[in-house]
């Protein structure tokens, strides 16, 4: 199986043309500050820059990415920066919904199993009847005054009427992580592209 068909899930690829008149060496010099953040290691060889991150700081604008490669190649209209970035956070957010959906299905199956067992036991007469609570005796003084007798205590619901484990929390978390992935995948792609574009144009941020 060719991973290229699925690695877009956690790999971000893109390209940017270099500004007119900007040499390849100057382009890497402008990009260099991006890779001098805490927890980032990078090395440059010819027209390629390779980086990796570990325990990256939250304020790092590329903290979501763990490693990647930037390369300057010849394009139809001049030099082009091509980048390939890898994010384990995106992969986790993509897989997490499936985990929670599996938990939801397991919860539903468990609930059905418990109901089936309870129904089978009730049918077999294994479940003993609970003794009904007698009404509280009336105080002699209250009786003499003609007070009404206290009501019979309300019967509590049996254990079989208790709520089964709900899959709702699992569905909620699945939705949260699915949203995080979709938003993160689109947003981070745009943010990193804008970051590289600003650095190449000479902007400081």
Please give the pLDDT value at position 128.
52
- Name the nearest CA neighbour of 112 among 157, 159, 167, 158: 167
* pLDDT, the chain, mean: 85
Residue 139 clears pLDDT 90, i.e. is over it = no
Greater pLDDT, 145 or 16? 16
Q: What architecture does CATH give domain 3-88? A: 2-Layer Sandwich (3.30)
Average pLDDT (145-167) is 63
Name the one residue in this structure whose structure tokens are 């709702």: 168
Confidence of residue 34 (pLDDT cuts 50, 70, 90): very high
Confidence of residue 39 (pLDDT cuts 50, 70, 90): very high
Q: Report H helices in the chain.
A: 24-31, 88-124, 140-144, 168-201
**pTM, two decimal places:** 0.74
Greater pLDDT, 122 or 194? 194
Q: What's the rounded Cα separation, in Å, for the pair 192 and 205?
A: 12
Residue 23 clears pLDDT 50, i.e. is over it = yes
**For 56-112, how does the pLDDT look when each residue is reduced to its tens digit (9 = 90+)?**
988 999 999 999 999 999 988 889 999 999 999 999 999 999 999 999 999 999 988
Quick one: what percent of the chain has pLDDT higher than 90?
61
**For 158-180, how does the pLDDT look when each residue is reduced to its tens digit (9 = 90+)?**
554 556 778 999 999 999 999 99
Please give the pLDDT value at position 179.
97
Name the one residue in this structure whose structure tokens are 């970051």: 195
Please give the pLDDT value at position 66.
96
Name the one residue in this structure whose structure tokens are 């394009």: 75
Residue 29 clears pLDDT 80, i.e. is over it = yes
């Amino acid at each position: 199986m060719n991973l290229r068909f699925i690695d877009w899930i956690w790999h971000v690829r893109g390209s940017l043309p270099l500004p007119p008149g900007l040499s390849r060496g100057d382009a890497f010099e402008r990009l260099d500050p991006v890779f001098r953040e805490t927890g980032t290691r990078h090395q440059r060889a010819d027209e390629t820059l390779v980086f990796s991150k570990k325990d990256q700081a939250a304020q790092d604008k590329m903290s979501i990415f763990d490693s990647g490669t930037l390369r300057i190649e010849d394009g139809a209209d001049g030099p082009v920066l091509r980048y390939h970035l890898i994010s384990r956070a995106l992969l986790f957010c993509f897989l997490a919904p499936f985990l929670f959906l599996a938990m939801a299905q397991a919860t539903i199956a468990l609930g059905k199993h418990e109901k089936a067992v309870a129904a089978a036991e009730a049918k077999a007469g294994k479940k003993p009847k609970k003794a009904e609570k007698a009404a509280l005796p009336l105080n002699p003084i209250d009786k003499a005054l003609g007070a009404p007798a206290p009501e019979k205590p309300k019967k509590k619901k049996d254990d079989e009427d208790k709520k089964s484990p709900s899959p709702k929390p699992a569905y909620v978390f699945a939705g949260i992580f699915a949203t995080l992935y979709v938003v993160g995948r689109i947003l981070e792609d745009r943010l990193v592209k804008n970051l590289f574009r600003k650095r190449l144009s000479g902007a400081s941020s």
